[in-house]
Structures are given as structure tokens and as C-alpha cells.
Amino acid sequence: MTYTPYSQYLASGLAFVDQLAAINRAREWAAKELNVHMGLVLDISRQITPDEGLVTAEWAVQGMGEGVVALGLGGPEVGNPPEKFVEAFDLARSAGLHSVPHAGETVGPESIWGALGALKAERIGHGVNCLQDSVLVKELRQRQIALEVCPTSNVCLKIVPGLASHPLPRLLSEGLLVSLNSDDPPMFNTTLTDEYLKAAEVFHFDVEAIEKLVFNALKVSFLPLEQKTALEKHFRAEFLWLTAEHLRY
């Protein structure tokens, strides 16, 4: 789960330590009552200054061991290249946090190159505009840098005119490591389940294609290997059961 703590601080004056405590109460409840577990990505909004971004990175480091697993970068790309926050990401990575900036959503391949070079991105939020640069596509494919693709969000923000013209099938055909994501569910009136349903309907994805997207997401998660292995076993059993149930009807 990604959220932007500095924006919350500016809006309400709520200190980061209190923000994190509130979120962790919810995380603990969800784990106990719903068996839903999550890690936190603290997100820098590109509109703030590099010094303010550094504050977010410091908060992220403080939150290690309390659910925070990565530092992200979101907000308007135009005029705010990844290089603007290199110091913040250097600090976070040196402490052991993962790097997961958004790039290549409303700006072209140069934003993705910047995220890879300056921020040492391990995953790229969106990244759909990588298709404008064949060299970049090859780089992403060879390094297996995951793209967190959010079709409904891309339509709402007019990155593409409609779902039918979304580049998701082409990204997959290029051999890129793609996961399906919801971006900001309340803002875009969607859920992760909705994204899978739409992909199956619009792109005629079969069970094998959907299963691949699920396992891509698991592969690029930041879970410990033991938990990944257990989840993979569980997911494969679930897919086998679902397939058997489908064949019954």
C-alpha cells in the first residue's frame, strides 16, 4: 500500500509518528480479523522540494520494522524528473529500503531512464510509455524490472482514450514483467478485482493470462522468500481448484 505522508502532514499537521501509529493499528486489525497483510510504501509527491522529499525518506527509514518497506515517487511528472529526488532515494536505499518510483506515465521514456539511473528503481509505477523506446524495452526486459500497470487510472487521466486501446497486451507480448494494479481505488472508482475483470473482458485474457499476472505480482513483491514460497503454493492450489470448478459447470 502506498501513501504520501508529507501531504498528510501539510494538510493536517499530523506528525508522521502519529500517522504511522494509526495506520499500524489498522494493519494489525486487518491481519488479525481478515488475514490481510500489507507493507507500506512511503511516497514522495514530485511537487514538493528536494529537501521536503528528504524528510519523507528520513521518515521511511524511521518506519523500517514498523511496516515500511520502500520509498516511492508520485505526482505530476512534467517538470519534476526523478533526478530531483536522488538524495532522498540514496538515503532510503542505503538504509535497506526498496526503490519504487512512478515513471513513464504522463512523460516519455526519459522519465523511466531517470528512475532506473538516478533512483535505481526496482519496480516502475505505470511505465507504459516505455514502448516509445525500443532500447528501453530491451533494458526493462533483460533486467526484469517490473511495471505496475494501472489500466483504469490510465484511462481516467487520458493517457489512453479507452481500455480497448490500452497497451497492456503489447507490454506482455514484448516479454516485459507486468503486474496489474489499481493505483488509487477511491480516486478512480476501481478495485484490484475490477482491474482483473476488465482485463479479462476487454483483452479476452484466458485463465493462463490472468494466472501469469497474479504470479508476476507475487514474484516482484518484497515479501521474504519463505512467505513468497508459501503464497505461491497456496495460489497454485487455488487456481487448480477454480479451474476444476469451472470445468464442472
d(CA 65, CA 142): 32
DSSP state of 45: E
| Percent helix / strand / coil, the chain, rounded to 5 | 60, 15, 30
Q: Which of 77, 105, 148, 195 is catalytic?
A: 105
d(CA 119, CA 101): 8
Whose cell is 516502475? That residue is 124
Active site residue 105: yes
Handedness of CA 166, 172, 178, 180 (dihedral sign): positive
Which one-letter amino acid corresponds to residue 28? E
Q: Is 246 exposed, middle or buried (0-12, 13-18, 19+ CB in 10 A)?
A: exposed
List residues with catalytic annotation.
105
